[in-house]
Amino acid sequence: MPTQSEQDLGFLRETIRVAARARANGAHPFGSILVGPDGKVLLESENAFPTDGGPGHAETNLARAAAKKYAPEFLEGCTLYTSVEPCCMCAGSAYWAGIGAVVFGMTERRLGILTGDHPENLTMDLPCRTVFDAGRRKVQVRGPFPELEAEIMKGHEGFWD
């Protein structure tokens, strides 16, 4: 039986593949998946910047789709996995959808160093834990996973130049 950390790493690698697909489709290289209480992938989402602009983040798109498809009581047992730490908008979307856990590979702070002042990704230095801690409902957070940073960064190479 794999440990929680081994499971997390496997699902995070899947988000890296979704992010690569987003980039191949002309969007920003971000991806997320929703995993149910039974460990099965229920939904996945790519970044949608070309069609949705700034709010087209993979995690917000996923949270919106999850909230339409599943009851909050079910989502409380689900986990949103994402390659890069959710921004405050995405953390808020996961919170309001009722998703019970969020797992991310690389911090938003590290992403900000990578993207700099790129006008399509003006990151905020606001950790998702801070957003979740401001809520009345507990959201479990796991991340970052430093062993995946190089893999995640590779998917961003040359994109923000």
Determine contact, residues 156/114, Cβ cutoff 8 Å. yes
- Give the CB-side neighbour count of residue 146, counting CA atoms within 13 A: 0
Exactly one of 6, 14, 44, 59 is catalytic; name it: 59
Q: What does R_g of the chain's alpha carbons equal in angstroms?
A: 14
Concerning whether 85 is annotated as a catalytic residue, the answer is no
Place of tokens 């929703």: 34
Burial readout 74-111 (b: 16 or more C-beta within 10 A, e: otherwise): ebbebbbbbbbbbbebbbbbbbebbbbbbbbbbbbebb
Q: Please identify every residue annotated as catalytic.
A: 59
